[in-house]
Amino acid sequence: MSSNYTGDPTSGLSPSSVPAPDTVPIITLPSDGDPDNAASVAQAFKALANESAYLKFPKAKASQWEQPIRVVFNARGFRRAYTDHLGYRQFNGIEVNQDWRDWLAVTDWPTSPTLGNPWFAFKTTGTLQTRAPLNTSPAAPLFPMLVMTPPTAAAERVTLQGPGMCVPSNDLGVALKWSVCMGTIGTNRTKLTMGLGDGPSGSGGSAPSFGAWFEKASTDTNWQCKVLSNADGALAADSGVPPVANTFQVLRIDLVGSNVADDSAGHAIFFIDGAQVAKLDLTSLAGMEAGTGPIVPFFNATTTTTGGAAVPVYLGPIAYRHNAAVNAL
């Protein structure tokens, strides 16, 4: 007569061991002639049920303090992150979240380039202001914002550089995601460059000397995806997605080193509102900067010409992640 069996995540069934992040089930294969109710038949069902139960309810092994509860590997077999014995997420990298709540008292950041940890601000005659959520444009967001208003004179800018500095390496995977919208679209004199790089240089806010960023010049219809690398030169792609006035879009850039990429090749991957819009292939992420310096998150609005409107730019939540390709943490 058949009977029910409930998988047990804390039980092993010989020769299979107790389920754990670093074990795989061992299944006994019945021999020809074994009866349906033989232990050799039941073992496979029970062992797999135990493993399934562990996947649903992963538990730490008592007294095994060094053993993680769960491990996440990439397609290359590198250990990228894990949940440790006490349930804390661990990985070899950096996480930065900014939602501007800490800066709501700042009405106009100073012209000094020493705003303070963790953000570095530079502006000529424009303004950087924080705003609480308001039921007005842009799009009544439910989060605080940073408002970047470009200067009135040509070749001047407002720039924000954030924490999360790293030196490009083939062992790294880096992701930067942020919410942004423009006050108006169309003929204007504001050029936006936002992404990962050594940051705009000079009072005119020229493009980074290396990095990967989204760009929107006054003559562009869509967001442009750009890379400048010492190893690969200038790369560019049209995202096919236009900015929308007073409407927030979520932009994301992933820099993937060849040692962590699925196909062993470097990539700069661009996303808008969760959809991939471009992938620019890199010979080497390590060759992006060739020893000249690190990359940081940067957000820049430059006034390019006289005449026309200088467009306010609204920044919402910003998230930065990077993780190393290590096989032990």
The reported pLDDT for the residue numbered 260 is 81
User: Which residue ranges form the domains of the chain, and what is each CATH number?
Assistant: 1-59 (no CATH), 94-324 (2.60.120.560)
Amino acid at 162: G
Structure tokens at 102: 């800490």
Q: What share of the chain has pLDDT > 90, as a percent?
A: 22
In this model, does residue 329 exceed pLDDT 60?
no
Instruction: List Cβ neighbours of 144 (8 Å cut-off, separation of 6 or more).
Output: 99, 100, 101, 103, 104, 130, 131, 132, 133, 316
- Per-residue pLDDT, 248: 93
What pTM was computed for the model? 0.78
- The pLDDT value recorded for residue 325 is 63
pLDDT of residue 328: 53
Q: Is the pLDDT of residue 274 over 70?
A: yes
**Amino acid making up residue 46:** K
Q: What is the average per-residue pLDDT within 316-326?
A: 83
- Is residue 224 pLDDT above 90, yes or no? yes
Neighbours of 104 (CB within 10 A): 12
Q: 164: pLDDT confidence band, cut at 50, 70 and 90?
A: confident
**Is residue 268 within a helix (H) or strand (E), and if so which, with residue range?**
strand 266-272
Report the alpha-carbon distance of residue 22 to residue 269 in Å, rounded: 31
Cβ proximity of 177 and 191 under 8 Å:
no
pLDDT (mean) for 136-150: 78
Segment 73-93 mean pLDDT: 80
Nearest C-alpha neighbor of 25 from the set 15, 36, 37, 35: 15
Given a cut of 70, is residue 207 above it in pLDDT? Answer: yes
Among 104-108, 212-216, 290-294, which range has the highest average pLDDT?
212-216
* 278 has pLDDT over 90: yes
pLDDT tens-place string over residues 188-200:
678 899 999 987 7
Q: Cα–chain-centroid distance for residue 69?
A: 24
Instruction: Choose among 300, 323, 27, 308: nearest CA to 148.
Output: 300
Please tell me which residue, 217 or 225, carries the higher pLDDT value.
Answer: 225
Instruction: Name the strand (E) or helix (H) holding 41.
Output: helix 39-56
* Average pLDDT of every residue of the chain: 81
Q: Which residue has the higher pLDDT, 81 or 5?
A: 81
Mean pLDDT of 225-239: 94
Residues 6+ apart with CB under 8 A from 137: 183, 246
Do 200 and 303 touch, CB atoms closer than 8 A? no
- Please state the rounded mean pLDDT for residues 148-168: 82
* CA–CA dist 286, 188 (Å, integer): 37
Confidence of residue 110 (pLDDT cuts 50, 70, 90): very low
